């Protein structure tokens, strides 16, 4: 008698297909580009607001896309490094 497992256990994140990232990229970058067309609004600042919110809410789908996009990753790294420098300076003054 041959037995087979009908249910398989999967660990970790399930891989996303290319169309998933195309949709996310189109929505994320498109929205940031459109909002940054408003005079006085910088693309990096718009992204930083979106990125901060998605990190606090734990939206992994956006995070996965951001770490694969060089421009958005540059914005994030710049923000995180600047914040780390400010935190260090504030601690040094105490």
**Residue 23: per-residue pLDDT:** 87
Summarised one tens digit per residue, pLDDT across range 26-79 is 888 899 999 999 999 999 999 999 999 888 888 777 888 888 899 999 999 999
Using an 8 Å Cβ cutoff, are 83 and 43 in contact?
no
Among 65, 72, 55, smallest CA distance to 19 is for: 65
Q: Which pTM was predicted? A: 0.71
Neighbours of 69 (CB within 10 A): 16
Instruction: Tell me the domain boundaries of the chain.
Output: 18-93
**What pLDDT is attached to residue 77?**
95
CB-count burial class (<10 Å; 0-12, 13-18, 19+) for 63: middle
């Amino acid at each position: 008698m041959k037995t087979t497992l009908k249910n398989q256990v999967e660990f970790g994140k399930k891989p996303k297909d290319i169309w998933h990232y195309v949709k996310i990229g189109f929505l994320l970058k498109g929205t940031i580009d459109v909002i940054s067309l408003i005079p006085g609004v910088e693309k990096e600042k718009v992204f930083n607001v979106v990125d901060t919110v998605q990190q606090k809410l734990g939206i992994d789908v956006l995070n996965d896309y951001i770490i694969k996009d060089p421009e958005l990753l540059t914005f994030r790294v710049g923000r995180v490094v600047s914040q780390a420098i400010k935190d260090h300076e504030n601690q040094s003054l105490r």
